[in-house]
Amino acid sequence: MTRLVASGVGVERGGRQVFSELSLAVGAGELLAITGPNGAGKSTLLRLLAGLLTPTSGSIRLEPESDRPIGWATAYLGHLDALKGAETVGENLAFWRDISERPGDSVVDALEVVGLAHLDDTPAFFLSAGQRRRVAIARLLVDRRTIWLLDEPTNALDSASEAMMGRLIARQLGEGGIVVAASHTPLPVKPTASLRMEASQ
C-alpha cells in the first residue's frame, strides 16, 4: 500500500526560511489536514509534496519506492484552476483525460458528478468562480491519481458543492487513495490526522 513520507523537510523562498524539520507520513485511505495561518507555508508544502518545488533540506518519497517521479502519483488542486478560457469545459477536461496514463471517469460522467453537464460546450471564460472550481475538481476524476493534494478545496463552493467535494474525498479514500488538504475552514470529511503549521518569525 502506498505511503507518502516527508522526513526533516525544510524550504527557503526568496531568502526566507519558510519552515524546517517538517516530517509527516500519510498512507492509503488517510486524509491529512494541514492548518495554520497565512504565510505558514501550507501551499508551499503541498507544492513540495507534488514535486513542483525542491526542498532545501530533508526528503520526500513514496513507499514503496518507485522509479517514477513523485508527481506521477499526485494530483494537485491549487488556487489556480488550470483552465484555458477559450476552450469549452468539455475540451478542457478532455485534454487532461487524453494525456493521462491512467484515465478515470469519462468527461460526461465527471461533469455529471460536479453538476455541470449542461455547460459541456461553454467556453471556460464564461464560468463563475464556483463553476471554475467545480471543473477543476472534475479534473481529479478524469485523471486518476493515487494522491490528491488539495489547497483550500472548498474555496468558492456553495454548501451543496462542499457536500459533493466531501463525497469525492470519501470515494478517493475508500478506493485506497491518499488525500492531503490545506484549509482555513473545516473539511467536509473528518481528517484521520492533522498538521498545524505556524508562520516563521
Write the pLDDT tens digit of every residue in 1-60. 899 999 999 999 888 899 999 999 999 999 999 999 988 999 999 999 999 999 999 999
Domain 3-196 has CATH 3.40.350.10: no
Q: How many CB atoms lie within 10 A of CB 95?
A: 18
pTM of the model: 0.95
Treating both helix axes as pointing N-terminal to C-terminal, what angle do 129-142 and 159-174 enclose, rounded to 10 degrees?
A: 10
Mind listing the pLDDT tens digit for each residue in 120-179?
Answer: 999 999 999 999 999 999 999 999 999 999 999 999 999 999 999 999 999 999 999 999
> What are the tens digits of pLDDT across the range 148-163?
999 999 999 999 999 9
